[in-house]
Amino acid sequence: MRIQRFLSRAGIASRREAETLMLEGRVSVNGAPATTLGARVDPERDVVEVDGRRIRADAARWIAFNKPVGTLVTRADPHGGRTVYDCLRAEHAVLRYVGRLDRETEGLLLFTNDGELAHRLLHPSSGVEREYRVGLRGRAGPDVVRTVTSGVELDDGLARALRAGHLGDEPEGSVLQLVLSEGRKREVRRLMSAAGHSVRWLRRERFGPVRLGSLPAAAWRELTPGELAALRRAAGGAGGDVPGA
């Protein structure tokens, strides 16, 4: 495979970031600098190093995690807050989260060491669906569903739900289901605010073909072979890299 793909698969960098590392002379193969962007390596035979540290591309691993409210999706919080990695095992420290959820949002979050597939899933061209359940303050009539599916202009562009529906009511307000194909920062909360309602609670139920199901809060599970195959199909139309993802 190409060196860029190898480094992405190892979770070191996106393919575009790997090219920069190579051009900066920070990547070597079998002791020789690797600056040719089209160069290939055999993961079973060649020794690949970045800044003198050997890199190994382990077998792809994916887990689903039910993120609890109050946890940060980050490696470490300088202010001492609880992070998603505090909920996981030490062995999961090598896995990278796929996308983000804000501190007060709960639900499905994927982790992997397969950087290439993760970048493809997050690329806008993939159109991977994210499904949410949202508890609102106050009753939401049919006009709210029409508004969020028609689209509203936010400060970073037009936002809309692909599908939306009313699931029922709680004493404090309505519960809606929303399906989006983007992962912009706090997009559901901002979309609902533009429709005239604040959010009491928010949970992601699905990312692409993977569902949260009955997974308890702060628990995790390995993805099934069927889910992995479905993720690869979902990413099939994506191209390029996602800088900084």
Catalytic residue set: 102
Nearest Cα residue to 95 out of 197, 183, 223, 181: 223
Q: Write out the two tokens for 199.
A: 């959010």
Helix, coil or strand: residue 154: strand
CA gyration radius for the chain? 20
Cα distances from 167 to residues 99, 173, 181, in angstroms, run 26, 11, 20
- Which secondary-structure segment (H or E) carries 53? strand 53-55
User: What DSSP element (H or E) covers 144?
Assistant: helix 142-150
DSSP structure string for 62-99: EEEEEEPTT-BSSS--TT---BHHHHS-GGGGG-EEES
Q: To 10 degrees, the CA torsion angle through 62, 108, 152, 173? A: 170
Is-contact 175 184, C-beta < 8 A? no
H or E stretch at 30: none
3-state class (DSSP) for residue 232 = helix
